[in-house]
Structure 1
Amino acid sequence: MTDQSLDPTPDEMAVTGIVCHGHHGVFDFERREGQPFVVDLVLGLDTRPAALSDDLRDTVDYGSVVTSVKAAVETDPVDLIETLAQRIADVCLLDGRVEWARVTVHKPDAPIDATFSDVALTITRRRT
């Protein structure tokens, strides 16, 4: 076993493809009808305590994080995916073990008059 106790790089926990139905957007029909949003998360945290104890209480419960993220997307509509991404990052950083959160919000049905496969915004926020 290697000694990584001095390694300052946190581990990364990822949950990708979280499908939510939200009513975000600047147009009335987006607010009225809603549309799918897909969220990808990467969380920076130290997983060594959980690896040693094999106890869920010693790590970030990704099931709870996903539940909170879905609630953040599916309530309180906003105009911009920038605002939504910040809200999701804030939810992820509520757990003190999360050192940083990288959030990608996909809006695959964005109202664009062109053929495209996705609109996505990725932000990274660190604990202050």
Structure 2
Amino acid sequence: MAAGVPARPDIIKLTGISAVGYHGVLEQERRDGQRFIVDVALHTDIRPAAAGDDLTKTANYAELADQVEAIITGEALQLIETLAERIADHALRTFSVAAVEVTVHKPHAPIQVEFSDVTVSIYREKP
């Protein structure tokens, strides 16, 4: 863990960020798009923000939501694994956090059997 972050960090979670993206291996996915849902958990220390009731000392989750939506709706990618990596990398570079967890849901994946969701989840720490 990063300096100043407790052994068991606090977590700020933002779940269910939903937007239409054009990600997929199939031409129809990249042409027609589909809804993707993203969950993000930021591992950090919220004590400085809480002590002073100061938004500038924590991650602004409204900004995070806007940024994740922009990544979902941005460049078309083949793999949701790549989408998850881009979101995690952005969060680590943008916010003062020790680690991030990202889950990308693709509930309308072109699969021929009945299913409820496809997800890719990753955990990344700051170097």
Q: TM-score range by the shorter chain?
A: over 0.9
Q: Residues of 2 paired with 1:122 and 1:6: CA distance?
A: 23
Cα shift readout 1:105-124 (whole Å, capped 9, x = no counterpart) = 00000000010000001000
State the 1:7 CA deviation. Answer: 3.8
Structure 2: stretches of 5+ with no match in the other structure: none
Q: 1:95: how far off?
A: 2.8
Q: Hey, what does 1:104 align to over in structure 2?
A: 103
Identity %: 46
User: SS of 2:68's equivalent?
Assistant: helix
> For residues 96 and 25 of structure 1, what CA distance do their matches in structure 2 show?
28
1:6 positional shift: 8.7
Matched with 1:114 is: 113
What is the distance in 2 between the residues matched to 1:11 and 1:117? 30
Alpha-carbon distance between aligned partners in 2 of 1:96 and 1:38, rounded to the nearest angstrom: 21
1:45 touches 1:98 (CA, 8 Å); kept in 2?
yes
Cross-structure match for 1:37: 36
Distance 1:30 1:7 in 2: 42
Of the two, which has the highest radius of gyration?
A: 1
- Give the unaligned 5+ runs of structure 1: none
CA distance in 2, matches of 1:7, 1:114: 44
SS in 1 for 2:76: coil
TM-score under structure 1 normalisation? 0.93
- Cα RMSD of the aligned pairs, angstroms, is 1.4
What CA distance in whole angstroms lies between the structure 1 residues aligned with 2:107 and 2:18?
Answer: 11
Contact 1:18 1:38 in 2 (8 A): yes
**What residue number does 1:22 align with?**
21
Moved over 4 A (4+): none
Q: d(CA) in 2 for partners of 1:92 and 1:26?
A: 25
Residue number in structure 2 paired with 1:124: 123
